[in-house]
Amino acid sequence: MQISRRDFMKWAAGSAVALGLTSLDLIKVEEVLAASTSPPVIWLQGSMCTGCSISLLNATQPTTIDDVLLNQISVKYHPNLATAVGDLAVTSIIDTSTNYNGEFILCIEGGIPTSTNGNYCVIADKKEKIGLCSMRLMN
C-alpha cells in the first residue's frame, strides 16, 4: 500500500490526538521521518525469547530507547516493532539491504538453528539474498 506524505501526516495527526500527544510530538515525528542520516538497522530474530529486544526497549542509560529510535538509528525492520507484515515486511528487508548495501547494521537476536538446513528458523520463504544472509537462515 502506498500512502502519500500528506495522507500520512493526516493519519499521524489523528493518532496524536487520540493518544493525547502535543503538536510538538508530531513535529518530532515529522523531523525523524524526514531525516535520512541515521544508520539503517535490520533486526532479525532467531530462536530466542525476545529478551534482547526487551532489554533494548527498557534501556535508560546512557540514553532512553525513544532517543535511540528517534535520533540515533533508523530501524527498517524489527519483528516486534514493525507495523508491516507479510510481503510488505519482507520487501522492507530486501529493499533496505539493497538500497543500503554494505551500509546497514544487521542485528541477529538469539541462536540460529542450523539443523535440517535451517528449517526451524525461517523468516520468509524467498529466494532473494539480503546482505550477508539469506532469507532462509542456513549454515
pLDDT in tens, the chain (139 residues): 466 667 766 776 777 676 676 767 666 666 655 555 688 999 988 888 888 888 888 888 778 888 888 888 888 888 888 877 788 888 888 888 889 888 888 888 888 888 887 777 777 766 554 443 444 433 3
**Would you give the distance in Å from CA 115 to the centre of its chain?**
27
Residue 70's SS3 state is helix
CATH of domain 38-134: 3.40.50.700
- Cα(48)–Cα(115) distance, integer angstroms: 16
14 φ, ψ to 5°?
-60, -40
Angle at 17 between CA 13 and CA 21, to 5 degrees: 95
pTM value? Answer: 0.62
- Cα(48)–Cα(52) distance, integer angstroms: 9
Domain residues of the chain, as ranges? 1-34, 38-134
